Each structure stands twice: as structure tokens, then as C-alpha cells.
């Protein structure tokens, strides 16, 4: 699991530019799925045949990042965000483009740092002129945090654990499932960070009878954090509600029962902000009873998100039980 | 002149009939058309039935006002429809409802204001329209609650540019009518959509209906190539040709398609530019995620001061956009997607 | 059945958004009395059919069954419960409110906060925020843990009261009033001739994003959709222009969300039958099920009828029973007027 998480989180894949991460995932799953296809938006849809109802499992493969909107005469890049990033997170950070070009963030002079906005910042790729910059980067190119994945004891810190942690869980489930009781579709979605777009089209294409997303969730276990009853290392969290969905009681109970019967530790999650692919999936066609299993994660959308490997492994165990019972 | 007629027509979101009627008349002889439950004008031109099926979309609606109540003194209270900066409303003439009643949005005379008042922007909720009615009853003879109002603004030529209201997105409507007058082997379909300004609602159902292989959205987008804006904030520049969208708040373009457009433009020597911002949204946001997803390209004509009574654009950019769309369709016809 | 009894019966079910599947049986029972066929869909929407199947005209009436509420977010070591919102709630209505926690059993709780005596003087000028409040059940921490789980829903305690002049106050009238109007309409239809296939739909999860209407409209794909909801009634501190008057009949909406021919037809019927009505201009999003019904599949002609309601999303929502009746009657007469040609004309602009 550790190696897989490292491989996944270090891959490049901002929303709308998921080629590299898609290749990594395809490589991991191609020997295990009965069918694999891609749709128009670039979602990976891998099927593991089973006799029962159609179950869609979803984890998004895209990550937050930035997109170049302008290149000035001196070769500095202006940018906009992809997904929910705070400009304050970017101070002193580095980013990397798909072709390996590395850039650092700089900012204009400001009287009060509170005035910091994206349009006061720029990316410096070490180019001296516009022409030199354009050889490496085009307007519209996207970049992600430039950061390694580090394993710290049982915890892991990396960029893009949101939601490569979920991807890792889905991959492990697919690799280990033998005969699922559902006709199971493992979907690695695109463009979740910009509005659950991949989940919307893939769910329409599949038309599942039920669905479970695997995504990350916030925690309330750091000093003076917000009040939230989710902690790292206490097992995966069964989502009750977030801004995009109130999970269907049937799926919620299925996950809770499976955990309790197998003595798999679990937590319950009420997330006040944020949404997940489940939000788009459950409103597809005439409705899809849906739920979500969350991996507790600290410092989401920063270059150093932190989660527990054990929570991911427990999530795999739980989903395998749900699939095979 | 069609563009003049289109921009001067009424068409606030939800009441697009004047624009729709002009467009029906224009495309009558070159395409089949029908309307749907929301009022989208859906068209199809089978050509020789070749694939791919290309969808063209432009929205008919514009931002405007709606009359929400009529006061005892005959003054009309209103609310904005679509994204209007409240600060542009003061001291403007508007035209209201099917009777085309003229009215003005007044403000307290500067003489009567405290200096501090002037620092506060006037909100639409504090403003009203005066049509010169004696009282409520008098006003009700010509205006009804729920009537729409638009800015009173005429199409005019200003040097190399033109001025009009509603260039967003009557330029798109105009471009599509010009394209429909040409002949292709592949099937062209599409929609003049309603209610884009309040959430791309017409496009949502039109894309669901049409199921094209690829969609081209034609828009009027904002150009901020004006004083006090640094070049990196321009987004688009008037006079530099059609702008291709890479990303906005509703849509991320497929880079391969953008590159294809740039390539076609280069081959045909059509000047074009990239839209250098990630703000805004268009019908493309809904079209590309309809059903199982539709490959989508968004091409815009740069316009200064959109969503105001007087926006400006370049006729040259419009011609270049027509040329680009024409070349693109021919390219799809020959090489597929 | 008298309207007031219907409304009281509707109010007996406690249904915060997302938990309707557990309690919507009550609605199934009520619908069965007035419909030819009743079913529940995958997300818990209750769908009743009245009139012959496969008729030429298919109309859907929608009112949402869910209500705003709270949810258990955290239980502290002493058994005090921290909560999150379900739907849009003004935190200023919360202090000293009585609530029911739907745990393993129903538990009464009181919303508490730091007592004023120990607050700084300037603290008292500020409204309490939700994080400053908690629910006190009076039970031991151990007992609370036994009975309550994170994610359990919390409702406001029902205290319906009758006021003067046929006014009625309580919580969850948004949108049980709409459901009551639909049921009244179904009763009226028994006295009228109509050829349409009528679907009465009690939708789920309206308060958190019009979600039940998205899937139920997709499923039914009607020729006409009408949402029946509440709108702001006239209140002391709100300008007249922003509200509709209590007791003056249903508010018929118009604007981009509304098909113009449906608005005209509803208005004409109200005038023909001397039903008092009010005009409700909606420049953009109506915030009702009608907003999503309209853009389902290839597009659905949509209308919206609203019952004026004061103090929306508080526990003392106030309305006039007569307005519910008038709305129901208007709907019934409208349905009775529908024929195929009119419906076909809705796609011709």
C-alpha cells in the first residue's frame, strides 16, 4: 500500500490534465479488470463482472493545481487556481508542469499580506524573456505542487492524497476481489475538484443501482481545530452528510454493518463544507442510492496532506467485505 | 443589418421571443428548426449526413431587469436578471415590457446628498424606474408586474468598432446564422439557447436533446484591454481575433481540441488568441457534461464593457470568427474529430 | 377530511432532509386515500397517481416533504451535543429552543449557550454563533453515548398554534402547506371532470438543494410540472414589495423559470372562477423544485404556485389556511382545463 500511495501521489494530474495519473492507474488495474474503457471526459471505467446489481465505486484521480493565464515580456507567468487553493498556501511553494518544468511562486510588493490574492502572485520558471518562457510553458498549461511523498511511521504526507488515497483503496480492492456479488464498476473520475464533472458523466453512462465513492475528509484532531469527530488512524469514516449529499441510509447502514460484523474500526463523518463525487452520482437519472467512505486527512489541498496508511488498508478490508460478503 | 437588428431586439432571460423570431426568419431557408419547452430554437441542417455531427450554440438572452412591484406613486421597483453591476444602473434610460414604455432610473440630486452618501454604491434595491406615471393606476395601464426591461441603447459604428447592448451573445447568434447559410457535407445541428445568463439552463436541455459528436459554443466574452488594467489582466484583446477558452469556472477545455483550433487558424491564416483568464462561464459548461459527455470548444468574440448598455466589439473579429468556425467545420468534415 | 386535520396529520411526521425514507410511510398512507396508485422511488420521493394511466396529458405536482433541522456533529466528554445544520437556518433563532434528537430513541433536548452573566458586556451585542451553542439533554454522558450517534438528526419540537382569522403557526409548514394544497386539489378533482394523468409527488431533500425533484422529474418526465411551495408573507419589518399578503390567495409566479402559457392559464382560471390570487415576479432562481424540474431531460414546461408564509425557516412559520384551500382549488381547476392541444402548444414559441 505504501508504495502504491507513493506512486499515485507523486504522479501529475490536475483537473482536466489527467493523462499521467491515468497511465499509472491503468497500469495497476489492467490485469485485474474484465473490461476497461475511457469516456469522453477521460474517466477510467473498469468493470469486474458479477451477477447482482450494478455497483459503482468511484475515486477521483484529479488534484488541485494552477493554470497559466498569461506570460509577460520578462517571462513571468500569471495563473489562476484549479480547485480550492488558498493563495497563502502558495507562498514559498514550488510547482511542476507536466513536462517537468519547475517554477516558484513570487508575489508583488504589498503593504498588508492580508491583501494577498492570486492576481498579486506569479510563477517564476527562471526564464529571462517571454520567448524563453514560451519554449517551456504555454498559456493554458497546468501545474501541480512539486513535492515528494514521505512515509512517517504509519502516516503518510504527500500532495494529492485527495484523492489518490481513494484511488489506492479502489486499486487494492480491484486487485484482491475474487467474485463480487455486485456487477462492479471501478471508476477513476476526472475533474472532481472543479465540480464533480467526471462523476456526472460516468454515472450517466453506467446507470448504477447503487454507488459508493471513496474520498478524503477533514479531521478535528489537531490543536484548536474545528469541532469535528473524525481523527487520523481510527479507521475509515462512513459519511453521513456534506454539502453535496446526505448519504442514503441503506448504503450508510450497509457500510456500518459490514464494519461492525468484521470488527473493522470505523468512524462517522458529518462534514460541514465540501462535497464529493457522491453528490453528482446520487442525482443521476432517476436517482442512485449512494454513500461515501472517507479517508481522514489533515491539511487538505496543501502540498502536505497527511493520512494514515492503516485507515486506507481498513477501507480496503471493509469494501472487500461489502463486495464479497 | 442583421447584427443591428439582433442587438436592438429585446431578449432578457425568459423572454427571448423577439430575438428568436428574427433568427427564425434568418434561418428559415437554410435549416430545419423547432422550439422546445424552454424556448430554445433548435436547428438542424442535415447536409449530406456525414459524420461527425457538429453542434453550434449561442445564447439569445441578455441581462436586464424585471419589474417586481409598482409603488403608490407609480414608480417601478425592479430586480436584476443575470449578472449586472448595480453601480452601472443609475442615470440610465430603459425600455419596459411589450409596450416598450420608456423609463429612467434616477438618483437623488447631488445637492441633496451628504458627502458620505457618495461613497456608498447605490444598490438596485434602493433604485426605481420613473416612467412619468401620475400614480400606481396610471402606471398599471402600460406596465405589468413581471415585465422585463432592457437598456435603451442603439447599435452604432464607432471608428473600427461597433457599440451596442447585448453583444453578449448576439454576436454568437449572428455568427451561427452566417455559418448556416453555407453548405457542408456533415450534419450541422445546434441551438440558439435561452437563459444562459441565469445558469446556462437552455443549453442544459438542448445538449441533452441533440447528442452531437462535438459542440462549438460561440460567445461574446469580456475584454479588459483598457486603461488601468495591466496587460496580464486583459483576458482578451479587441481586434486580435476570436478567443479560445482554455478554462473558466464551468469548463476545462481538452487541450488537444484547443491545439486543433489553433492549427486550423494558422493554416487558414486567421488571427486568433487564447482567452487569458479562468473566470466566467458559458453554455459550454453544461454542454460538455451532458449525458456521457460531449467534446466541446468555446470560441468567443472579445467585447469591452459587457453586461452594460454600451459594449464595444470589432467587426473584424466577428468576420475572423466566422472564418475560423467555417474552417474548423471543414476540417472536421475532412479529418473527423 | 377537513383541511386542518390534513395539515395536522402531515405535520405529525418529522422529516429533516435526508432522513425521509425512515418516516415517509405516513405520507404513503395519506396519499393512498387520495390516489389510485402510490409508490416510493429510490431516494424516497413519494409518488401518487390519480387518473387513467397513459392519458394524453401527464402532469406532475410537487411539494417537498422535508424540513430544516440539525444534525449531531460531535458529543463531548460530558455528553453535550454539538450540531450542524440541515438546510438554511438563521442561528439567531436557536438559543433556548426545544429539540428532539432522533437517536436510538427520541430524546428531548434544549439548545444552550454560555449564560449571559459570565459574558463580556460587548459579547451580548453579538448574535450567538452555532459553534457557541450546544444541546443539553440532561442525561449522563454515558447514556447519551448509548442513545446518540454522530449523524443522528434533530428536529425542532412541534408546537402548532391557531391564531386569529384562520391563521396557523408552527414549524415545517414549509412545505407541508404545499402538500396540504396538493391533497386538497386531489379531493377537489373528485368533484370535477379531468382527463389528465396526475402525479402528486412529495419530494425529498428540497432544503439542501432541490435534490428529490431532480430524480423524480427525470423518472416521470411529465408534460407539465407544477411546484407548490411557500413564499414570503407580509411581515412588519420587510417592505411590501418583497412579500405577498396572507389571506389574499395563492401567489402565481412568473419569470424565466415559468412557462408563460402556464402562467397565463393559471391566471385566467383564477379570474374566471373568482379565486383571489397574487402575482409573484421571479427574476431568476425561484429556489423551489420548479427550478430543477424545468431543465430535466429535454426541458419541462413548469409553473409555480406559492402559499404566503411569514417567518420562513423559524419555528413559528405563520400562514392562513384559506390560502392553502384556494391554491388547491386553483390547481384542480387548472388540471381539469388541460387538453392535448394546449400541451402540444407549450413547445411552440
pLDDT at B277 over 80: yes
- Three-state secondary structure along A68-90? EEEECCCCEEEEEEECCCCHHHH
Point out the catalytic residue in the list B8, B16, B62, B196.
B196
Q: Measured between CA atoms, how close is C43 to chain A, in angstroms?
A: 6
Q: Are C55 and C196 spatial neighbours (Cβ–Cβ below 8 Å)?
A: yes
Residues of chain A numbered 296-315 and touching chain C (CB < 8 Å): none
Q: Which chain B residues touch A191 with a CB distance below 8 Å?
A: 252
Q: Evaluate whether residue A269 is within a structural domain.
A: yes
Q: Evaluate whether residue A218 is within a structural domain.
A: yes
Tell whether C61 and C190 lie within a shared domain. yes
Tell whether A206 and A122 lie within a shared domain. no
Q: Measured between CA atoms, how close is A288 to chain C, in angstroms?
A: 7
Mean pLDDT of B195-217: 97
What's the pLDDT at C26?
Answer: 93
Best residue of C68, C134, C150 to probe chain A, by most A CBs closer than 10 Å: C150
Position A152 confidence tier, pLDDT thresholds 50, 70, 90:
very high
What's the pLDDT at C1?
Answer: 67
Q: What are phi and psi of B248, to 5 degrees?
A: -140, -170
Tell whether C200 and C318 lie within a shared domain. yes
Tell whether C150 and C221 lie within a shared domain. no
Tell whether C183 and C254 lie within a shared domain. yes
Tell whether A130 and A249 lie within a shared domain. no
State the CATH number of the domain containing residue C123: 2.40.30.40
CB contact under 8 A, A285 and C215: yes
Query: Residue A167 is part of which domain span?
Result: 2-63+159-324
Q: Measured between CA atoms, how close is C299 to chain B, in angstroms?
A: 5
Output the nine-digit C-alpha cell for C172. Answer: 415545517
| Residue A63 falls in the annotated catalytic set | no
Confirm or reject contact between C57 and chain B (CB < 8 A).
Answer: no
Q: Evaluate whether residue A150 is within a structural domain.
A: no
Tell whether A77 and A191 lie within a shared domain. no
State the CATH number of the domain containing residue A136: 2.40.30.40
- Tell which phi-psi region holds residue C32, choosing left (phi > 0), alpha (psi between -120 and 50) or beta: alpha
d(CA C128, CA C113): 8
Tell whether A90 and A14 lie within a shared domain. no
Mean pLDDT of B95-107: 91
Pick from C241, C256, C300: CB nearest B69: C241
Q: Evaluate whether residue A153 is within a structural domain.
A: no
Tell whether C135 and C178 lie within a shared domain. no
Tell whether A126 and A237 lie within a shared domain. no
What's the pLDDT at A188?
Answer: 98
Please give the C-alpha separations between residue C232 and each of B128, B302, C174, C318, in angstroms, as whole numbers: 22, 41, 11, 10
Tell whether C8 and C148 lie within a shared domain. no
What's the pLDDT at C165?
Answer: 87
Q: Evaluate whether residue C237 is within a structural domain.
A: yes
pLDDT per residue rounded down to tens, chain C (349 residues): 689 999 999 999 999 999 999 999 999 999 999 999 999 999 999 999 999 898 999 999 999 999 999 999 999 999 999 999 999 988 888 888 999 999 999 999 999 887 777 777 777 777 778 888 999 998 999 999 999 999 999 999 988 888 888 899 999 999 999 999 999 999 999 999 999 999 999 999 999 999 999 999 999 999 999 999 999 998 887 888 888 999 999 999 999 999 999 999 999 999 999 999 999 999 999 999 999 999 999 999 999 999 999 999 999 999 999 999 999 999 999 999 999 999 999 999 9
Best residue of A226, A230, A231, A241 to probe chain C, by most C CBs closer than 10 Å: A241
Query: Residue C247 is part of which domain span?
Result: 3-67+171-345
Tell whether C113 and C244 lie within a shared domain. no
Position B282 confidence tier, pLDDT thresholds 50, 70, 90:
very high
Tell whether C254 and C121 lie within a shared domain. no
d(CA C16, CA C23): 10
What's the pLDDT at A207?
Answer: 97
Instruction: Count the domains in chain A.
Output: 2
Tell whether C102 and C204 lie within a shared domain. no
Task: Report DSSP letters for A262-296, one per residue.
Answer: TT---EEEE-SS---HHHHHTTSTT---EEEEEEE
Chains near C (3 or more Cβ pairs under 8 Å): A, B
Q: Evaluate whether residue A305 is within a structural domain.
A: yes
Tell whether A220 and A92 lie within a shared domain. no
Domain-ending residue, one of A96, A115, A145: A145
Q: Which chain C residues touch A240 with a CB distance below 8 Å?
A: 71, 150-151
CB contact under 8 A, C301 and B34: no
Output the nine-digit C-alpha cell for C290. Answer: 420548479
Q: Evaluate whether residue C48 is within a structural domain.
A: yes
Q: Evaluate whether residue A152 is within a structural domain.
A: no
Tell whether A24 and A116 lie within a shared domain. no
- Tell which phi-psi region holds residue C18, choosing left (phi > 0), alpha (psi between -120 and 50) or beta: left
Query: Which residue in the block uniquely carries the three cell numbers 453583444?
Result: B167
The domains found in chain B, sorted by start residue, are: 2-62+165-335 (3.40.630.10), 64-151 (2.40.30.40)
pLDDT at B35 over 80: yes
pLDDT at A217 over 80: yes
- What pLDDT, in 10s, does the model give residues C224-248? 999 999 999 988 878 888 889 999 9
State the CATH number of the domain containing residue C301: 3.40.630.10
Confirm or reject contact between C28 and chain A (CB < 8 A).
Answer: no
Tell whether A20 and A33 lie within a shared domain. yes
Q: Evaluate whether residue A151 is within a structural domain.
A: no
Best residue of B37, B143, B198, B283 to probe chain C, by most C CBs closer than 10 Å: B37
Tell whether A46 and A79 lie within a shared domain. no
Tell whether A19 and A81 lie within a shared domain. no
CB contact under 8 A, A41 and B293: yes
Tell whether C10 and C152 lie within a shared domain. no
Tell whether A51 and A70 lie within a shared domain. no
State the CATH number of the domain containing residue A25: 3.40.630.10
- What pLDDT, in 10s, does the model give residues C19-60? 999 999 999 999 999 999 999 999 999 999 999 898 999 999
Q: Which of A291, B240, A266 is nearest to C150 (CA)?
A: A266
Query: Which residue in the block uniquely carries the three cell numbers 459548461?
Result: B285
Tell whether C63 and C105 lie within a shared domain. no
Domain-ending residue, one of C94, C128, C156: C156
Pick from A15, A40, A67: CB nearest B293: A40
Q: Which chain B residues touch C294 with a CB distance below 8 Å?
A: 37-38, 201
Q: Which chain C residues touch A272 with a CB distance below 8 Å?
A: 73, 84-85
CB contact under 8 A, B81 and C284: yes
- What pLDDT, in 10s, does the model give residues B209-268? 999 999 999 999 999 998 888 888 889 999 999 999 999 999 999 999 999 999 999 999
Tell whether C73 and C41 lie within a shared domain. no
Q: Evaluate whether residue C161 is within a structural domain.
A: no
- What pLDDT, in 10s, does the model give residues B128-172? 999 989 999 999 999 999 999 999 999 999 988 999 999 999 999
DSSP state of A25: H
Instruction: Count the domains in chain C.
Output: 2
Q: Measured between CA atoms, how close is A8 to chain C, in angstroms?
A: 32
b/e per residue B251-277 (b: at least 16 CB within 10 A): bbbbbebbebbeebbeebebebbbbbb
Q: Please report which helix (H) or strand (E) contains residue B203, including its range.
A: helix B201-210
d(CA B227, CA B231): 10
Tell whether A128 and A183 lie within a shared domain. no
Q: Measured between CA atoms, how close is A316 to chain B, in angstroms?
A: 29
**Which ranges constitute the DSSP H helices of B268-310?**
284-287
Point out the catalytic residue in the list C67, C188, C197, C206.
C206
Amino acid at each position: 500500500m505504501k508504495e502504491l500511495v507513493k506512486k499515485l501521489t507523486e504522479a501529475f494530474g490536475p483537473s482536466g490534465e489527467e493523462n499521467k495519473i491515468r497511465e499509472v492507474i491503468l497500469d495497476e488495474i489492467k490485469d485485474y479488470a474484465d473490461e476497461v474503457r475511457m469516456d469522453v471526459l477521460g474517466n477510467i471505467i473498469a468493470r469486474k463482472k458479477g451477477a447482482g446489481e450494478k455497483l459503482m465505486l468511484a475515486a477521483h484521480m484529479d488534484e488541485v493545481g494552477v493554470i497559466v493565464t498569461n506570460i509577460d515580456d520578462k517571462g513571468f507567468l500569471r495563473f489562476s487556481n484549479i480547485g480550492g487553493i488558498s493563495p497563502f498556501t502558495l507562498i514559498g511553494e514550488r510547482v511542476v508542469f507536466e513536462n517537468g518544468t519547475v517554477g516558484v511562486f513570487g508575489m508583488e510588493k504589498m503593504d498588508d499580506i492580508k491583501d494577498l490574492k492570486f492576481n498579486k502572485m506569479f510563477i517564476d520558471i527562471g526564464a529571462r524573456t517571454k520567448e524563453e518562457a514560451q519554449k517551456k510553458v504555454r498559456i493554458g498549461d497546468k501545474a501541480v505542487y512539486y513535492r515528494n511523498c514521505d512515509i512517517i511511521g504509519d502516516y503518510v504526507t504527500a500532495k494529492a492524497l485527495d484523492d489518490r488515497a481513494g484511488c489506492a483503496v479502489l486499486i487494492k480492492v480491484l486487485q484482491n476481489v475474487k467474485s463480487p456479488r455486485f456487477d462492479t464498476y471501478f471508476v477513476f473520475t476526472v475533474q472532481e475538484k472543479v465540480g464533480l464533472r467526471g462523476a456526472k458523466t460516468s454515472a450517466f453512462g453506467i446507470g448504477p443501482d447503487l454507488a459508493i465513492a471513496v474520498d478524503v475528509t477533514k479531521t478535528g484532531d489537531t490543536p484548536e481545530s474545528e469541532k469535528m469527530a473524525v481523527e487520523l488512524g481510527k479507521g475509515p469514516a462512513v459519511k453521513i452528510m456534506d454539502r453535496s449529499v446526505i448519504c442514503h441510509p441503506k448504503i450508510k447502514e450497509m457500510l456500518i454493518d459490514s464494519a461492525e460484523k468484521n470488527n473493522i474500526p470505523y468512524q462517522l463523518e458529518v462534514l460541514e463544507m465540501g462535497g464529493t463525487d457522491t453528490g453528482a452520482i446520487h442525482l443521476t437519472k432517476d436517482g442512485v442510492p449512494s454513500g461515501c467512505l472517507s479517508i481522514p486527512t489533515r491539511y487538505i489541498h496543501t502540498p502536505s496532506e497527511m493520512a494514515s496508511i492503516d485507515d486506507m488498508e481498513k477501507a480496503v478490508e471493509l469494501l472487500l467485505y461489502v463486495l464479497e460478503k | 443589418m442583421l447584427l443591428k437588428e439582433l442587438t436592438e431586439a429585446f431578449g432578457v432571460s425568459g423572454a427571448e421571443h423577439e430575438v428568436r423570431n428574427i433568427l427564425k426568419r434568418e434561418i428559415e431557408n437554410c435549416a430545419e428548426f423547432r422550439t422546445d419547452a424552454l424556448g430554445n430554437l433548435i436547428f438542424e441542417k442535415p447536409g449530406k449526413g456525414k459524420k461527425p455531427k457538429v453542434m453550434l450554440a449561442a445564447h439569445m438572452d441578455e441581462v436586464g431587469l424585471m419589474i417586481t412591484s409598482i409603488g403608490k406613486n407609480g414608480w417601478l421597483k425592479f430586480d436584476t436578471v443575470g449578472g449586472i453591476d448595480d453601480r452601472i444602473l443609475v442615470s440610465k434610460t430603459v425600455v419596459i415590457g411589450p409596450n416598450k414604455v420608456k423609463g429612467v432610473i434616477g438618483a437623488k440630486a447631488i445637492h441633496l446628498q451628504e458627502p458620505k452618501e457618495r461613497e456608498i454604491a447605490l444598490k438596485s434595491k434602493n433604485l426605481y424606474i420613473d416612467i412619468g406615471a401620475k400614480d400606481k393606476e396610471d402606471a398599471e395601464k402600460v406596465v405589468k408586474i413581471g415585465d422585463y426591461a432592457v437598456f435603451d441603447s442603439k447599435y452604432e459604428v464607432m471608428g473600427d468598432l461597433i457599440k451596442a447592448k447585448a453583444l453578449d451573445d448576439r454576436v454568437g447568434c449572428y455568427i451561427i446564422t452566417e455559418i448556416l447559410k453555407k453548405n457542408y457535407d456533415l450534419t450541422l445541428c445546434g441551438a440558439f439557447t435561452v437563459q444562459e445568463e441565469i445558469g446556462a439552463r437552455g443549453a442544459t436541455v438542448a445538449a441533452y436533446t441533440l447528442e452531437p459528436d462535438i459542440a462549438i459554443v460561440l460567445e461574446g466574452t469580456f475584454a479588459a484591454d483598457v486603461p488601468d488594467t495591466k496587460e496580464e489582466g486583459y483576458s482578451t484583446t479587441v481586434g486580435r481575433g476570436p478567443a479560445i477558452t482554455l478554462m473558466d469556472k464551468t469548463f476545462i477545455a481538452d487541450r488537444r481540441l484547443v491545439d486543433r483550433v489553433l492549427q486550423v487558424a494558422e493554416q487558414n491564416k486567421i488571427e486568433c488568441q487564447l482567452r487569458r483568464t479562468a473566470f466566467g462561464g458559458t453554455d459550454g459548461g453544461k454542454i460538455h457534461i451532458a449525458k456521457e459527455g460531449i467534446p466541446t470548444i468555446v470560441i468567443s468574440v472579445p467585447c469591452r464593457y459587457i453586461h452594460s448598455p454600451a459594449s464595444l466589439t470589432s467587426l473584424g473579429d466577428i468576420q475572423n470568427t466566422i472564418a475560423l468556425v467555417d474552417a474548423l467545420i471543414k476540417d472536421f468534415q475532412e479529418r473527423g474529430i | 377530511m377537513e383541511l386542518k386535520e390534513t395539515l395536522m396529520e402531515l405535520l405529525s411526521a418529522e422529516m429533516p432532509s435526508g432522513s425521509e425514507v425512515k418516516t415517509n410511510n405516513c405520507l404513503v398512507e395519506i396519499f393512498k386515500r387520495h390516489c389510485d396508485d402510490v409508490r416510493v422511488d429510490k431516494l424516497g420521493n413519494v409518488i401518487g397517481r390519480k387518473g387513467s394511466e397513459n392519458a394524453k396529458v401527464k402532469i406532475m405536482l410537487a411539494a417537498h416533504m422535508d424540513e430544516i433541522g440539525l444534525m449531531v456533529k460531535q458529543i463531548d466528554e460530558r455528553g453535550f451535543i454539538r450540531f450542524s445544520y440541515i438546510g438554511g437556518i438563521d442561528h439567531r433563532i436557536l438559543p433556548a429552543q426545544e429539540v428532539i434528537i432522533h437517536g436510538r430513541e427520541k430524546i428531548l433536548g434544549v439548545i444552550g449557550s454560555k449564560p449571559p452573566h459570565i459574558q463580556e458586556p460587548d459579547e451580548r451585542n453579538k448574535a450567538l454563533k452555532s459553534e457557541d451553542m450546544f444541546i443539553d439533554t440532561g442525561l449522563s454522558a454515558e447514556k447519551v453515548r448509548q442513545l446518540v450517534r454522530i449523524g443522528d438528526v434533530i428536529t425542532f419540537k412541534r408546537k402548532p398554534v391557531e391564531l386569529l382569522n384562520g391563521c396557523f403557526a408552527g414549524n415545517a409548514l414549509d412545505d407541508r402547506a404545499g402538500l396540504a394544497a396538493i391533497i386538497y386539489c386531489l379531493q377537489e378533482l373528485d368533484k370535477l371532470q379531468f382527463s389528465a394523468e396526475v402525479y402528486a409527488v412529495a419530494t425529498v431533500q428540497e432544503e439542501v438543494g432541490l435534490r428529490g425533484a431532480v430524480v423524480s422529474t427525470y423518472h416521470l418526465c411529465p408534460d407539465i410540472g407544477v411546484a407548490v411551495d411557500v413564499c414570503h408573507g407580509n411581515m412588519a419589518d420587510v417592505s411590501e414589495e418583497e412579500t405577498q399578503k396572507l389571506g389574499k390567495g395563492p401567489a402565481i409566479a412568473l419569470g424565466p423559470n415559468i412557462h408563460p402559457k402556464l402562467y397565463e392559464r393559471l391566471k385566467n382560471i383564477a379570474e374566471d372562477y373568482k379565486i383571489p390570487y397574487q402575482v409573484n415576479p421571479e427574476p431568476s432562481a425561484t429556489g423551489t423544485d420548479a427550478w430543477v424540474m424545468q431543465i430535466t431531460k429535454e426541458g419541462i414546461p413548469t409553473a409555480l404556485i406559492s402559499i404566503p408564509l411569514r417567518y420562513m425557516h423559524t419555528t413559528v412559520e405563520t400562514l392562513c389556511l384559506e390560502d392553502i384551500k384556494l391554491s388547491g382549488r386553483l390547481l384542480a381547476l387548472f388540471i381539469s382545463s388541460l387538453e392535448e392541444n394546449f400541451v402540444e402548444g407549450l413547445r411552440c414559441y
